Amino acid sequence: MLKAIASILILFGAINWGLYGLFNFDIVCYIFKSKDSIYARVIYTLIGLSGLYTILYIIF
C-alpha cells in the first residue's frame, strides 16, 4: 500500500514538474493558491519523501 501511495505521489510530482517546465504552471500552487501555503508545503514534502522512499526501496 505504501509503495502505491509513493508511486502516485511521484507521478503527481513528475506531472507537476513537466507542466512547470513546459508552461510555467505549478499545479500545486494553483490548487492551494500559494507556494507558501502550509498545504502546498505538505504536498511538496510528501512528494520528496516518496522519492526518497522509492530510492531506498530500489537500492535495498
Contact (Cβ atoms closer than 8 angstroms) between residue 4 and residue 53: no
Q: Which three cell numbers stand for residue 8?
A: 502516485
Residue 1 CA to residue 27 CA, distance in Å, equals 25
Residue 47 predicted with pLDDT over 90:
yes
- Domain span at residue 27 reads 2-59
**pLDDT-based confidence at residue 1 (cuts at 50, 70, 90):** very high
What DSSP line would sit under 3-28, residue for residue?
Answer: HHHHHHHHHHHHHHHHHHHHHS--HH
At 59 the pLDDT is 92
Percentage above 90 pLDDT, the chain? 85
CB contact set of 14 (below 8 Å; sequence gap of 6+):
none
- pTM for this predicted structure: 0.86
pLDDT at 34 over 90: no
User: What pLDDT is recorded for position 16?
Assistant: 96
